[in-house]
Structure 1
Amino acid sequence: MTEISRHHTGTRMSQIVTHGDTIYLAGQVGTAGASVTQQTQDCLDKVDALLAEIGSEKRKLLQAIIWLADMGDFAEMNAVWDAWVPEGHAPVRACGEAKLATPEYSVEVIVVAAR
């Protein structure tokens, strides 16, 4: 049986769950009220830190789901995303519009990676 491991676990959720060599991260948000550019960078910085903590990195991304509070911010978010993803290592990705936890959040990034 493949082991499931949970990290930074609270009552509601864990920030990291591993199942074998697959790593699942909770949705990451940036500084509430900051620009879309800053929130996107904050999200990706958190993804980098959590993946490093568990022995992985962005070249091992398998999937990304990005929620935007307003699809009008798509190009601004993508400018940060495109600069962050290493060439040749883009994961499968979906991006959609959704109401986020508070109106001050513009971006949420959820990823799955390999170890």
Structure 2
Amino acid sequence: MSKVVIHRGVVYTSGQTAADAGDCVEKQTKSCLAKIDALLAEAGTSKSNALNATIWLKDIEADFKRMNGVWNEWVEADNKPTRATVQAAMARPSILVEIQVTAALPE
């Protein structure tokens, strides 16, 4: 699996998790977003060029509000990408959140 794919000026990241960040959805979300920031930078772009995000939560009822608070601190007010957030079974029991972001390369 690739962590990043670039095609025709669009950067696709794989879903990022942070099972090593403990059992706190806020910490896991911050860790996921830090990984995404690093991947986007490696690809030559940033969250300023984000187009779309998909967020999977292990327990949307319990964790949406806290995850969303971290997301709102991370996302830029002038560039809010489209986003879908759903509840899903995770690959490991310790994973509370997984995030995937698609961004454009700067022109």
The normalised TM-score by structure 1 is 0.87
1:57-76 to 2 correspondences below 5 Å: 57-71=46-60, 72-76=62-66
Shift in Å, 1:105: 0.2
| Cα distance in structure 1, aligned partners of 2:9 and 2:23 | 34
**In terms of Rg, which structure is larger?**
1
The one-letter code sitting in structure 2 at the alignment partner of 1:55 is G
Percentage of identical aligned residues: 46
Root-mean-square deviation (CA, aligned residues, Å) is 0.8
Partner of 1:78: 68
- Checking the alignment, whether the CA contact within 8 Å between 1:62 and 1:92 is kept in structure 2 is yes
Q: Does 2:80 match 1:95?
A: no
The one-letter code sitting in structure 2 at the alignment partner of 1:30 is A
Partner of 2:17: 29
| Cα distance in structure 1, aligned partners of 2:54 and 2:19 | 19
| Cα distance in structure 1, aligned partners of 2:43 and 2:23 | 28
- The Cα offsets for residues 71-107 of structure 1, whole Å up to 9 and x where unpaired, read as 1200000010000001121100000000111010000
1:39-54 to 2 correspondences below 5 Å: 39-54=28-43
How many residue pairs get aligned? The number is 103
Partner of 1:110: 100
Shift in Å, 1:30: 1.1
| Cα distance in structure 1, aligned partners of 2:45 and 2:78 | 17
> Runs of 5+ in structure 2 lacking a partner?
none
> Going by fraction, where is strand more abundant, 1 or 2?
1
Larger RCO, structure (CA 8 Å, separation 6 or more): 2
| Cα distance in structure 2, aligned partners of 1:23 and 1:58 | 11
> Going by fraction, where is helix more abundant, 1 or 2?
2
